[in-house]
Amino acid sequence: MWSRLRTCRNLCLKTRICFQLNRAQGTFSALLDENCRAGAVLLSTSSNVFHNLALEDWIHARVDLDNRSILFMWRNRPAVVIGRHQNPWQECNVPLLRERGIPVARRRSGGGTVFHDLGNLNLTFFSSRKRYDRQRNLRIVTRALKQLRPSLDVRVTDRFDILLNEQFKISGTAAKLGRTGAYHHCTVLCAVDRTLLSVTLRSSCTGIRSNATPSVPAPVKNLRDDDPTLTCEAVMEAVATQYSADFGLNRPVIVVDPTHELCHPGINGIAQELQTWDWVFGKTPKFTLETSLEVHYEARSSKVHLHMDVKNGIIETCGIEIPHNWLPPETCAELSRLMVGSRFCPTDTALIFTAFLRSNPESHKLETKIHILSENIAALM
C-alpha cells in the first residue's frame, strides 16, 4: 500500500511537471521565469546544427538574462561552422562539403571556423553583459575535466583556448555581445573524426584576398586520444555538475527540443534564415579572387586566368582571360559580362553558361570547350 502511495505521489509530481511544461499559456521563457530564477543547464535533443544555432539566438533574444546564467550543451551531426565575418571559400572546401552533404553554417558570433560532429561537444554560456567573463567559463570546463580525470593536463590560454598537454588545442572560443545580454560558446574535442576535420577545413580556392577574419590553424587532439575511457556524455555531465555547483543551481538538467515552435515562438523562422544562401554565403565580406586554372581539351591543356570581385556573394566584376586559340575573345568577353550580377555559386554559373549556349549556338567543339570552362569555374565555388 505504501509503495502504491509512493507511486501515486511520484506520478502526481511528474504529471505536474509535465503540465507545467505543456501548459497552454507557457513558453520556454515563461517556464524559466517561474522555475529557474538563478539559472539552468539545458541539453539539446537535436543534432541539427541550424536548429541548435537558432535556439542559441532565441535564448539570446528572448530570455531575460539579467540575474540568470544559463549553460546550453549541444552536439551536431557533421557540419562546418564559420564565424560571423568569415569567408567560407577561404576557410573550408566548399565543393567537397557540398558533394558529401555536409552543411556549412554561419553563426552570429565572431571567431574562427570549427568542424562539428557528434564527438565535438558545444557549450554556450549565457549571461548578462555585466557578468560576461570568458575566463571564468573556461575555468569551469577545466575544473570539470580535472574532476573527471585528475591526471589530465588542461590549461586555459590568454587567447581563450584550452590546451591539452601544453600543446594541443582541444577547445576554441567565440562570443557574441548584444545590448543587455551576451553569450560565450566553446567547443570541446572529445572524439572527433580528425581525418574528416583536416580534409574539410582546407580551402579549395587559393588566390582569395579579403579582410574577412582569418582562422588561426592549430594542432588539435581529442580528449579520447589521451584517455580512451572518456566519453562525450561523461564530459557533459561533469561540466553540468561543475556549472551547477558554481552558480548555485539545484535543478536537474532540462532537456530542450529546439524545433518546438510553441515553446519557442519564432524559432523555426530563425532556423530557416540560418540555412538560406543569402546568410551562409551572402554575408561574406567583400573579397577578390585572382587565380589561374588549367583546362584540358583533347590531351592539351591551356591556362585560364580568372579575376573576380565579389561583394555580398554577388560577382561585381569578372574577367576571364583565355588564349585566343582556345576560345574566341568575343565569347570570353560575353561570358564575363554575363557573370556580373550572378551569385558566386555553381548553379548560377551553370545557368549562365547554359543560357549563353542556348542563345548562341556554337560548333560542337566550342560547346565542349565552354562546358569544360564552366565546370572548372564552378569547381572553385
Partner 1 sequence: MRAAVPSSSILKTIQSIRRRGCPSKPAFDWPLQRGVILSSHPDEEAFGIKMASFGTFRGSFMFMRHLLSARHYKHCCSRAKAVKPVFSLCPSPRVIYPQCRNFKTSYGKAGPVLQFNLSDIGEGITEVTVKEWYIQYVKEGDKVSQFDSICEVQSDKASVTITSRYDGTIRKLYYDVDSIALVGTPLVDIETDAGQEGAPEKDVVETPAVSHEEHTQQEIKGHKIQATPAVRRLAMENNIKLSEVVGTGKDGRILKEDILNYLSKQTGAILPPSPYHEIQPPPPTAAVPSAAKLKDRAPLPGSAWPVIQRPVFTGKDHTEPLKGFQKAMVKTMTAALKIPHFGYFDEVDMTKLVQLRSELKELAESRGVKLSYMPFFIKAASLGLLQFPILNASVDEGCQNITYKAAHNIGLAMDTTQGLLVPNVKNVQVLSVFDIAVELNRLQALGVSGQLGTADLTGGTFTLSNIGSIGGTYAKPVILPPEVAIGALGKIQTLPRFNSRDEVVKAHVMNVSWSADHRIIDGATMCRFSNLWKSYLENPATMVFDLK
Site for partner 1 in 20-39 (CB under 8 A): 24-25, 27, 29-30
Nearest approach, Cβ of 7 to partner 1 (angstroms)? 31
Judged by CB under 8 A, the number of residues near partner 1 is: 72
Q: Which is nearer to partner 1, 72 or 132 (CB)?
A: 132
* Grid cell in block for residue 96: 567537397
Q: Is 171 in the site for partner 1 (CB under 8 A)?
A: no
* Grid cell in block for residue 34: 517561474
Q: Is 333 in the site for partner 1 (CB under 8 A)?
A: no
Nearest approach, Cβ of 349 to partner 1 (angstroms)? 8
* Grid cell in block for residue 366: 566550342
Binding mask 142-161 for partner 1 (x = CB under 8 A): -----------------xx-
Nearest approach, Cβ of 205 to partner 1 (angstroms)? 17
- H or E segment and range at residue 188: strand 181-189
Q: Is 126 in the site for partner 1 (CB under 8 A)?
A: no
Q: Is 60 in the site for partner 1 (CB under 8 A)?
A: yes
Q: Could you say which of 84, 136, 143, 194 contacts partner 1 (CB under 8 A)?
A: 84
Residue list 219-258, contact with partner 1 (CB under 8 A): none
Which residues are within 8 A (CB) of 68 and not within 5 positions of it... i.e. 6 or more apart? 32, 36, 37, 38, 39, 40, 126
Q: Could you say which of 106, 176, 200, 271 contacts partner 1 (CB under 8 A)?
A: 176
Nearest approach, Cβ of 39 to partner 1 (angstroms)? 17
* Grid cell in block for residue 2: 505504501
Q: Is 61 in the site for partner 1 (CB under 8 A)?
A: yes
- Are the CB atoms for 214 and 90 separated by under 8 Å? yes
Q: Tell me the CB-side half-sphere exposure of residue 268, using CA atoms within 13 A.
A: 7
| CA–CA dist 228, 222 (Å, integer) | 10
Residue list 278-307, contact with partner 1 (CB under 8 A): 285
Segment interacting with partner 1 (CB under 8 A) among 5-13, 78-86, 146-154, 228-236: 78-86
Q: Which is nearer to partner 1, 4 or 179 (CB)?
A: 179
Q: Which is nearer to partner 1, 303 or 337 (CB)?
A: 337
Nearest approach, Cβ of 149 to partner 1 (angstroms)? 27
Q: Could you say which of 132, 243, 287, 326 contacts partner 1 (CB under 8 A)?
A: 132
| CA–CA dist 158, 123 (Å, integer) | 19
Q: Is 361 in the site for partner 1 (CB under 8 A)?
A: yes
Q: Is 50 in the site for partner 1 (CB under 8 A)?
A: no
Q: Is 96 in the site for partner 1 (CB under 8 A)?
A: no
- H or E segment and range at residue 174: strand 173-177
| CA–CA dist 124, 377 (Å, integer) | 39
The DSSP letter of residue 215 is P
| CA–CA dist 295, 323 (Å, integer) | 11
| CA–CA dist 352, 379 (Å, integer) | 15
Q: Is 211 in the site for partner 1 (CB under 8 A)?
A: yes
| CA–CA dist 280, 65 (Å, integer) | 28
Helices of type H across the chain: 2-22, 28-35, 49-62, 88-91, 94-100, 134-148, 194-200, 223-226, 232-247, 267-275, 277-280, 329-339, 346-359, 364-378
Q: Which is nearer to partner 1, 117 or 348 (CB)?
A: 348
Binding mask 253-272 for partner 1 (x = CB under 8 A): --------xx--xx--x---
> Measuring CA to CA, which residue among 72, 66, 111 is closest to residue 239?
72
Segment interacting with partner 1 (CB under 8 A) among 3-11, 188-196, 321-329, 347-355: 347-355
Residue at grid coordinates 587559393: 206
Q: Which is nearer to partner 1, 252 or 328 (CB)?
A: 328
Nearest approach, Cβ of 133 to partner 1 (angstroms)? 8
| CA–CA dist 238, 375 (Å, integer) | 50
Q: Is 345 in the site for partner 1 (CB under 8 A)?
A: yes
Q: Which is nearer to partner 1, 220 or 253 (CB)?
A: 220
* Grid cell in block for residue 213: 577574419
